[in-house]
């Protein structure tokens, strides 16, 4: 029985890399930091909204990113999507928040 990722990689001759120790590894200890969630915000076209920030640490920050995205398009009145123009008042419901 495989107990951790290190054993699995040795048995199957591949290298598994992680920035953090994983469950079952000898150095793994559960802390809030070891269970990290990140959120991505996608535009109606399916692209990341912010190129400088790919992920958000909380869902609230991700929702704020959508609100800021809508504000940036208010003066134009619409978002030019690959599927056609989306009115600003409908823009937020076409954006998605996903786990990164």
Nearest CA to 85 out of 68, 73, 96, 97 is that of 73
Judge whether 56 and 49 are in contact, CB under 8 Å.
no
Note whether 29 and 55 are same-domain residues: no
Residues 67 and 53 in one domain: yes
Q: What is the pLDDT of residues 14-60, one digit of tens each?
A: 444 445 555 566 655 555 554 557 888 999 998 888 777 778 888 88
Domain tally for the chain? Answer: 2
Same domain, 75 and 92: yes
Please tell me whether residues 18 and 44 are part of one structural domain. Answer: no
pLDDT of residue 93: 92
Same domain, 48 and 26: no
Query: CB-hemisphere CA count at 13 Å for 50?
Result: 20
Q: 7-35 b/e with 16+ CB inside 10 Å = b?
A: eeeeeeeeeeeeeeeeeeeeeeeeeeeee
Range of the structural domain that residue 28 is part of: 5-34
Mean pLDDT of the chain: 76
What pTM was estimated for this model as a whole? 0.63
Please indicate whether residue 12 or residue 98 has the higher confidence score (pLDDT): 98
Q: Does 48 share its domain with 82?
A: yes
């Amino acid at each position: 029985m495989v107990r951790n990722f290190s054993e699995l990689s040795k048995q199957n001759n591949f290298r598994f890399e992680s920035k953090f120790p994983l469950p079952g590894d000898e150095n793994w200890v559960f802390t809030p930091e070891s269970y990290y969630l990140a959120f991505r915000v996608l535009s109606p076209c399916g692209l990341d909204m912010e190129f400088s920030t790919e992920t958000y640490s909380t869902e609230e920050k991700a929702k704020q990113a959508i609100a800021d995205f809508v504000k940036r398009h208010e003066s134009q009145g619409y978002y030019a999507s690959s599927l056609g123009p989306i009115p600003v008042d409908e823009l937020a419901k076409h954006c998605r928040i996903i786990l990164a």
